[in-house]
Amino acid sequence: MSIPKGKLIAIGGAEDKGTDEREVFHLNNLNFFGLGILRRIVEEAGGPASRIEVITTASTIPYEVGNNYLDAFGKIGCTNIGLMHIRGRETVNDGDFLKRIKACDCVMFSGGNQMRLTAVFGGTEFLKIIHKRYQQGNFVIAGTSAGAMAMSSTMIYEGNATRAHLKGEVKTTTGLRFMDNVIFDSHFEKRGRFGRLAQVVAANPSCIGIGLGEDTGMLITQGDRMEAIGSGLVIILDGHNIHHTNIADIPEGSPLSLENLVVHFCAKGNGYLIKERKFIELMGKETTPVMTDVY
């Protein structure tokens, strides 16, 4: 595939929207307002005047979700926001939607159920336009929670965290195909999803697993360079050098055995090169503190 000129921003969910929970966040040393994933989306899209279309298809409460984003973006001075409450395939190729998707600077897929995204948009002219714009220009595709998980070609759509160590408990299908060589998982730390991403990587070791924590994301440029943004961790699972796994030989419901899965923890400013499978300490403008004076 050609190197895309656009950018992906995959977010683990619960990105800060300027809620009244900020006092709790500060008590936990989480400076959500300073880190500002939504601010970064606006910056990458071209600034406060940029046109951002929020697609609420994955959600069962699209109008509430949409209004939350209007309020959140408004708090950071970005008011040129459109809402696309696309509920089914019968309306996805509506002329107005196609016109708007051709004219905007950024699309943002909300959270909800990622299967709704693939079922509604798969194979449509609407999705083809997004793919073309991502490949050919400075176009931003952002997604949170389900919206992030649907970005890859291989998409997790089901898998209880407490049973994810058992073969067959994690289900995958084809995603929206913005990236071929990765697999995203969201709400990664709080919902204990290490096991389910590990199982999918064991079955697809040529793919890099990207576990996105809450209010944390990856900014992906050139289809390969990833920069961690937000307040938490992105956990990278690399299965290229797995020495042993039993996943192909055991029956359904049996525990997974896995040797030499490589794991990286990326905090804000850290990066990762997918093709080289290389951790980068300073990918962004700033990074986490590093001790230099140790006695």
Spot the catalytic one: 50, 59, 110, 145: 145
Among 29-43, 147-161, 195-209, which stretch is predicted with the lowest mean pLDDT? Answer: 29-43
Q: What percent of the chain has pLDDT over 90?
A: 85
95 φ/ψ sector (left φ>0, alpha ψ -120 to 50, else beta): alpha
**pLDDT tens profile 102-122:** 999 999 999 999 999 999 999
Q: pTM value?
A: 0.90
Among 1-15, 183-197, 204-218, which stretch is predicted with the lowest mean pLDDT? Answer: 1-15
DSSP state of 222: T
53 flagged as catalytic: no
| pLDDT number for residue 32 | 36
Spot the catalytic one: 186, 187, 227, 231: 187
Q: What CA–CA distance (Å, rounded) separates 243 from 231?
A: 34
**Does position 246 have pLDDT exceeding 80, yes or no?**
yes
165 flagged as catalytic: no
Give mean pLDDT, residues 201-205.
96
Q: What CA–CA distance (Å, rounded) separates 62 from 57?
A: 7
- Please say whether the beta carbons of 258 and 244 come within 8 A: yes
Q: What CA–CA distance (Å, rounded) separates 168 from 273?
A: 30
CA 46, distance to chain mean position in Å, is: 20
Indicate the pLDDT class of residue 194, thresholds 50, 70 and 90. very high
